[in-house]
Structure 1
Amino acid sequence: MSAGDEGIQEMNIVGKFLKLFDKLGGCNENEQKQKIEEMNGLIDEMSKGEFETISKTEMFDKIAEMIEEQKLSLSNALLLLKHMGYFKVLKGSCKCGFDGSSLKKIFEKIILEENNKKGGKNEKLWANICGCYVLLSCKPSPGFFCICKPFLLNAASVKEESEEVLKEVEMALLALSCTGFWQNFEKDLNLNEIKDIIKYHQIHRNLTPLAHQSAWKYMICRLNFENSLEGIMVNELHFAKEAAKELEELSKSVDWKRKDDKKEKETKEVLVIERWFGAIYDYFFSCTLRNEELAKLIASLVQMIRASRDNHKDICNGCLDSLRCAAENRNVEIDDLLKGGAVDAVLEEISQQSLNYWTYCCPEFFLKLSKRLQEEKKDEMEETKRKELKRKIYDKIEEEGFDDYIIGLEHFLFVEHFSLYYPGEKWERDFILL
C-alpha cells in the first residue's frame, strides 16, 4: 500500500471519496475503473447528508472538464454517475448540484446528437446516458425526458436474468419512477409497456424488489390522469394483493429488533418499504373502485406497524399515514379497515405515543371514520350496516378505555395546535362518540 493510500484509510468517508476523485485525472482507464469501484463502495456506506456533501455543482463541473479534456472516459464517468444517481433517488436526496452544472449541458448535447442519428445507436450506452440524466436531475426538461423515456423502457423490458441485466433493468425502472407527474398533462402512450413488465414479473418473478416497486410507482403517478388505469390496476394487475405480498416479503429481511435511530443507515429493504408507502398512499388517495383485496393490504400495513413500532418509527409512521388516508377515502370500505385490523392497530399506537406530529394521525383516523359514519344512508340496508359499523368501532374504543383519552388528544391537537393555523375554526370535541 502506498503512502497516499494509507492516508486515504485514515480519513472519514467523505474525505476518502474526495481523495480518490482527485486522483482520477492522472490514471489510465483501468486504474480509473478500479478507483471508481472503490468510490461507489464508499457511496454505499454514506448517509444522505454525507452524499449531499459530495454531490455539489463543482464536482459535476469537474467531471465535465475531465471528459472534455479526455482525462476521464465517458464510460468510466457513467459508472460513477449512475451509482450517484441511484443513491440519490433511493435515499430521497433533493440536494444535488447536477442541474446547475456544465455536465448536464454536455449530457443534453449528447442526447440531442444521438437522437438525431438515423441509426447505429449503442443501445446500452444510450440507456445509461438517459438513466444518468434522469436520476441525477431534480428538474429534468420534459422535452429531454420524452427523448429518454423510450430507451429507458427498452432497457427495462429486457427479459434476460443475469445479475448485470437485472441491475440495468432496475436502474432503468428507477429512473422512470423519478418522472413523477412531469408528463401527466398529456396522455401516456407507454403504459402498456409498464403493464407488460409488471405482468411478466407476476408470472416469472424476474424483477428485483426495487425494480418492481419502481414500475408500480411509474404507473400509479398517472392514476388521476388515465381514466382506465385504475381498472387495469385492480382487475388485471391486482395492485393491493401485489403490494401486500411485497411488504410481507421485504419485512422478512428487516431486523425489526435492531435499535438504530439513524435513518440514513437503513438497509436497502427498509428504503424500498418506505418507497412503497408513497405508492400505497397515492392509491388510497385516488382509488374509486371497490376492491375486495384492500383488506389484505390493510392487514399487511397493520402487521408492519406492530413489527416496526419500537425501532423503526419511520416505517410505523408511514403505515399510519396510509391508514389515515384510507379512512378518509369513501371508496375504501370501513368494513375492510375493521377486517384488516386497522382500528385495533391505531388504538394500540395511541396507547404508546407521546404527543407529537404523528400522534395527530391516530385521532384523525377516527375523525375521518366518524364523519363518514355520521352520514345517513338512504338505503335501509346500508343504514343498518352503517349503524352496525359505528357500534363495532365504538365498542372497541370503549373496551380498551380510550374514549376519554382520544378526546383529550383531539382537543390538544385540534384546539390547541391547529387553531394557530385555522383561527376562528370550531372543532368538535366529541367526534369520537360517533
Structure 2
Amino acid sequence: MSFAEKFSTIFSESKHNLDNCEQKQLIDELNCFIDEMDEEEMKSAINIELFNRIIKKMEEKNLSLENAVLLLKHIGFCKSMCNFWNNLFDYTSLRFRFEKLIIDESEKKEERNEKLLIDLCECYLTLRRFANNFPDKLLTICASCLLKVSLNKEQSVKTQKEIEMALIAFSCISLWKVEESQLYIDEIIEIIQHHQEHHNLTQLAYQSAWEFLISRSSYEKSLECVIVNELHFVREVTKELEELEKCVDWKKKEKRIMKYGEVYTIMRWCKTVESFVLSAKTQEKDYVKFVECILRLFKSARNNYWQMFKKHFKLFSHMMGSKIFDVYDLSKAGCVDFMLKEIHSPTLEEEITTHFTIFFQILSKRLKLEMKEKSEEPNRKLSPKEIFDVLEEDGYEDIMFSLQGFLLNNRFNVYICSINLCDYF
C-alpha cells in the first residue's frame, strides 16, 4: 500500500470511543504518513472524503476539536510546502464549521483560548490557500491573530517555530484581497527589517514574509522601490539560496517534507523570484550573481530533484523577457549556455519544451534590437555576437522562424500548444 492508502485506511477504520490520548496517538501516526508522502500521494489523500470523515468524527465525539486541528494544521503546512492548489476544503461543511469557530472564539469577552484561535486561523488559511472568496471579517480576525504572533521579537526556538507557521499561513492570503491585504504591508516590512538586523526568523519564515510582500508589489507600485532599494530583495534571496544549497545532499533524493525541508523552501523561493521577475521594473547591479545562483540550483537538481524543479523552468524565459535583466548579463551568468545544453538533453520533456521555445524567441528578438540600437548609439553595450553565431550554427534561428506559424505571441496561450515540440527539436 502507498502511504496515501495507509493514511486513508487507518483513519477510516480507526476505532470508535477513543479517549483523548488515543486520539492524539492516531493523529501523530497519520501525520507521520503525511510526512512520508510525495506530492502526488498528498493530492490523492487530501480529498473531500477526508474532510467529511473528519467532521463526522467530530460530530460523533470520536475526534476532539484540538486533535482535529493537529491533523488539519499539519495537512495545511504540507500543502503549502508542496505548493499545490487543492482547494477541496472550500466545498465542505468543515470549512463553514471553522469559520463559525473562528468568529465565535474571537468574540469571546472572557476565557478566550488564544492558542486555539491562532491554530484555527492557521488551519483555515493554509487549507484555503489563495481562495478568492475570502470573507472580510475572517481576514481581519486571522490577520490580527497571526501578526501578533509574527511580531514577537523573542528568539527562542519555540517562538521561531510559532512565527514560522504564522507567516506561512499569512502568505496564503489571496492576491484578490488587494485592498485589505495592503493594510498589513507595513507590518511585514517591519518583520523583514527586524530579521535583517537580528536574524530571529527561520529560513522558511523569512521566505514566507517575502512571498506575501512580493506578491503585492504588482498592485502597490511604490512598494517595488522599498523591495529593491531598501530591503534589497535580490541580495537577500541570493544569500538565502546559497545557504540552502549547502544544506542539501543533491546526490541523494529524499521525499520527506519535514526532515528534508530545504528543497521545498528553495521551491518556494523560486515561486517568489518568479513573481518578482514578472512584476519588477527596477534594475539592480548584482543580477549576474543572482542568476548564477539560480542556475547552480537547477544544475544540482538535474539528477534527483528534476521533477520538482521543472515546474519553475519558465523562470528563465521570464528573465529573458524582463527588461530588468540585460541580455549581456544573462549570457555572462551562463543562462544561454545552460539553455542550449538542456535542449540537447535526451530526456527533454514536453512540459518544459515550450519554455525553451519562448526563451530563444525572446533572445533572438532582443539581440536584433540590441544590434540595431548599437548601430544608432555607438557607446551602447552590445550583447555578445557569439550568441547569434551559436544560434545560427545549431539551427535555432530557423527553428524559431518555422514555429512562428503556430506559437501565439501571448505567453499564456503558448503553454497550451498541442504540437509535440519535443519530437520537433
Alpha-carbon deviations, 1:286-326, whole Å to 9, x = none? 11112113222112112223323344334654564222212
- Separation in structure 1 between the aligned mates of residue 401 and residue 259 of structure 2, nearest angstrom: 36
Q: Highest relative contact order (Cα 8 Å, sep 6+), 1 or 2?
A: 2
Identity within the alignment, %: 36
Q: Secondary structure at the match of 2:182?
A: coil
How big is the shift at 1:381? 10
2:94 to 73, 89, 103: 103
291 and 79 in structure 1: CA distance in 2 versus 1, 3 angstrom threshold: same
- Separation in structure 1 between the aligned mates of residue 403 and residue 162 of structure 2, nearest angstrom: 47
Matches within 5 A, 1:47-86: 47-86=38-77
Equivalent in the alignment of 2:270: 277
Equivalent in the alignment of 1:87: 78
Using structure 2 for the length normalisation, give the TM-score: 0.84
1:42 to 9, 12, 33: 33
Equivalent in the alignment of 2:213: 219
| The structure with more radius of gyration | 1
Amino acid at match of 2:342: E
How big is the shift at 1:184? 1.5
Q: Does the aligned pair in 1 maintain the 2:195–2:201 contact within 8 Å?
A: yes
Instruction: Name the stretch that deviates more: 220-229 or 196-205.
Output: 196-205
Equivalent in the alignment of 2:400: 410
- Separation in structure 2 between the aligned mates of residue 193 and residue 79 of structure 1, nearest angstrom: 28
How big is the shift at 1:157? 2.3
How big is the shift at 1:380? 8.1
Equivalent in the alignment of 1:133: 124
267 and 64 in structure 1: CA distance in 2 versus 1, 3 angstrom threshold: same
404 and 238 in structure 1: CA distance in 2 versus 1, 3 angstrom threshold: same
- Separation in structure 2 between the aligned mates of residue 415 and residue 76 of structure 1, nearest angstrom: 58
Amino acid at match of 2:245: S
- Separation in structure 2 between the aligned mates of residue 133 and residue 152 of structure 1, nearest angstrom: 12
Number of aligned residue pairs: 406
Equivalent in the alignment of 2:283: 290
How big is the shift at 1:221? 0.9
Alpha-carbon deviations, 1:229-274, whole Å to 9, x = none? 11111112111111111221222222323478x8999942222212
Matches within 5 A, 1:365-404: 365-375=359-369, 383-386=377-380, 388-390=381-383, 392=384, 394-398=385-389, 403-404=393-394
Instruction: Name the stretch that deviates more: 185-194 or 251-260.
Output: 251-260
- Separation in structure 2 between the aligned mates of residue 412 and residue 360 of structure 1, nearest angstrom: 14
Matches within 5 A, 1:231-250: 231-250=225-244
Instruction: Name the stretch that deviates more: 163-172 or 375-384.
Output: 375-384
- Separation in structure 2 between the aligned mates of residue 312 and residue 154 of structure 1, nearest angstrom: 37
1:182 to 176, 180, 192: 176
Equivalent in the alignment of 2:339: 346
How big is the shift at 1:189? 1.3
Equivalent in the alignment of 2:196: 202
2:4 to 9, 14, 20: 14
Q: Does the aligned pair in 1 maintain the 2:267–2:309 contact within 8 Å?
A: no
Matches within 5 A, 1:308-347: 308-314=301-307, 317=310, 320-347=313-340
2:143 to 142, 149, 158: 149
| Superposition CA RMSD, Å | 3.2
Instruction: Name the stretch that deviates more: 354-363 or 277-286.
Output: 354-363
182 and 142 in structure 1: CA distance in 2 versus 1, 3 angstrom threshold: farther
Structure 2: gaps (5+ residues): 415-425
Alpha-carbon deviations, 1:198-226, whole Å to 9, x = none? 12222333322222211111111101111
1:360 to 345, 349, 354: 354
- Separation in structure 2 between the aligned mates of residue 315 and residue 189 of structure 1, nearest angstrom: 34
Structure 1: gaps (5+ residues): 1-10, 423-434
- Separation in structure 1 between the aligned mates of residue 201 and residue 269 of structure 2, nearest angstrom: 15
- Separation in structure 1 between the aligned mates of residue 153 and residue 93 of structure 2, nearest angstrom: 36
Q: Does the aligned pair in 1 maintain the 2:7–2:30 contact within 8 Å?
A: yes
How big is the shift at 1:12? 4.4
Q: Does the aligned pair in 1 maintain the 2:164–2:205 contact within 8 Å?
A: yes
Q: Secondary structure at the match of 1:384?
A: coil
- Separation in structure 2 between the aligned mates of residue 77 and residue 265 of structure 1, nearest angstrom: 20
Q: Does the aligned pair in 1 maintain the 2:106–2:117 contact within 8 Å?
A: no
- Separation in structure 2 between the aligned mates of residue 266 and residue 121 of structure 1, nearest angstrom: 34
- Separation in structure 2 between the aligned mates of residue 316 and residue 85 of structure 1, nearest angstrom: 22
102 and 166 in structure 1: CA distance in 2 versus 1, 3 angstrom threshold: same
How big is the shift at 1:41? 0.7
355 and 411 in structure 1: CA distance in 2 versus 1, 3 angstrom threshold: farther
